[in-house]
Amino acid sequence: MSDRTVWRQMTKGQLKPVYVCYGSEGYLMEEFLRQLTAQVVEPGTEELAVSKYDCSETPLAHVLEDAETLPFMAARKLVVAVNAVFLTGSKDKSKVDHDVERLHQYLEAPSETTVLLFTVHENKLDERKKIVKKLKQLDGMVPCTSLTPGELAVWIERRLEKLGCRIEGEALETVAASGGNNLQLLAGELDKLAALAGRNSTVTQEMVLAIMTRTVEQNIFQMVDDIVNNRMDKAFAMLDELLKQKEEPIKIASLIARQYRIIAQVKELSRRGYSQQQIASSIGVHPYAVKVAVGQSRHYEDRRLANILQWLGELDYDMKTGRVEKQLGLDMFLLQLAAGSRASG
């Protein structure tokens, strides 16, 4: 059974007796727990019908005793056991002794009135362990790992649907590319976009550009696009804004270099016949960033890109060794690019 099917069935009330949420994406884990709680527990009975244990402090036997106990004044109850490191290959630093054989016995005949949830912030379980193999047989595995670009786009659309909104294609690409790996932050941005658009409305690109909080990486992404398209006044304005925000010049130069390396890689892989999706997978960036870089790469010959990357390498060295004042070095670099743009134009 696919991981998506497990989650989808849960939201329809088709519950498994035992679930295991694992992965580094804490927001997805919290979202699964919220939805599972809503399916298992009657509204207003959470204090009576939900119990939570930390496996770094509480023996597994105590968790299972609770799971086997009938719910009090409720039809079903939810037992949550966090930090289930014993399911992974990582060393358990706690002093707690877990009776895993007791869990094996429980899984042979799980309580019909309890849903048991284990969570662990590790991207992989140790599938060599018998207990992990047994848990997998119950079809309750829920990976909460970082979303792929495609999964992220679907997640954005579905979250906005729940908020009563749709989103334009270009706006979706921009939001997905801007979201990074912080779903908690992205969820807050989507809430703001939905409030701005209103129910039964469409989130547009203009709304996204007007309201979304931009990280320094996203600002550099825009800054490089301004440089490529010879909008040097905007590029200088962005640099001034970043410096006012106390961003470190060496970091700014490093991020500019990263964008130009992406442009160079995209140019080379496109020449080899790679599709944009293949390029995104190959170099590990969002498809939208590849789409933009394809257009940007047409503005440069290979030698020009090599020169820019060489200048950036020299700038990095000069700033780190004190051979140039950092802000002045960045200004001179942009002036050098502007002069080159005028010469090539």
Do residues 141 and 6 make contact, with C-beta atoms less than 8 angstroms apart?
Answer: yes
Task: Assess whether the region 3-143 and the region 216-344 belong to the same CATH fold.
Answer: no
Question: What CATH number belongs to 149-211?
Answer: 1.10.8.60
**Dihedral of CA 247/248/254/260: which sign?**
positive
Residue-range domain boundaries for the chain: 3-143, 149-211, 216-344
What is the per-residue pLDDT for 343? Answer: 45
Residue 342, pLDDT score: 47
Q: Which CATH class is domain 216-344?
A: mainly alpha
**Residue 115 near residue 78, CB atoms below 8 Å:** yes
pLDDT band of residue 50 (cuts 50, 70, 90) is: very high
Whether 8 contacts 32, CB under 8 Å: no
Q: Which two tokens stand for residue 180?
A: 């990074």
Region 224-235: mean pLDDT is 92
The CB-side HSE value for 201 (13 A sphere, CA atoms) comes to 10
Of the spans 48-52, 279-283, 289-293, which averages the highest pLDDT? 48-52
Residue 316 · residue 341 · CB < 8 Å? no
Tokens of residue 120, six digits:
């662990």
What is residue 180's predicted lDDT score, i.e. its pLDDT? 60
pLDDT at residue 1, rounded to an integer: 52
DSSP string, 62-126: HHHHHHHSPPSSSS-EEEEEE--GGGSSS---S-PPP-HHHHHHHHHS--TTEEEEEEES-S---
Residue 45 pLDDT more than 70?
yes
Helix (H/G/I), strand (E/B), else coil: 267: helix
Give the pLDDT score at 286. 79
- CA distances for 160 relative to 44, 188, 277, angstroms: 27, 11, 25
Class of domain 3-143: alpha beta
Choose among 257, 163, 179: nearest CA to 213: 179
Give yes or no for a contact between 340 and 232, defined as CB atoms under 8 angstroms apart: no
Q: pLDDT per residue over 162-216, tens digit each?
A: 999 999 998 998 888 776 667 888 899 999 999 999 988 999 999 998 888 778 8
User: Residue 52 has what DSSP assignment?
Assistant: E
Residue 62: the pLDDT is 95
- The model carries a pTM of 0.68
Query: Closest Cα to residue 297, out of 315, 314, 283, 313?
Result: 283
* pLDDT 10s digits, 254-276: 999 999 999 999 999 999 999 99
Closest CA to 155 of 178, 133, 183: 183
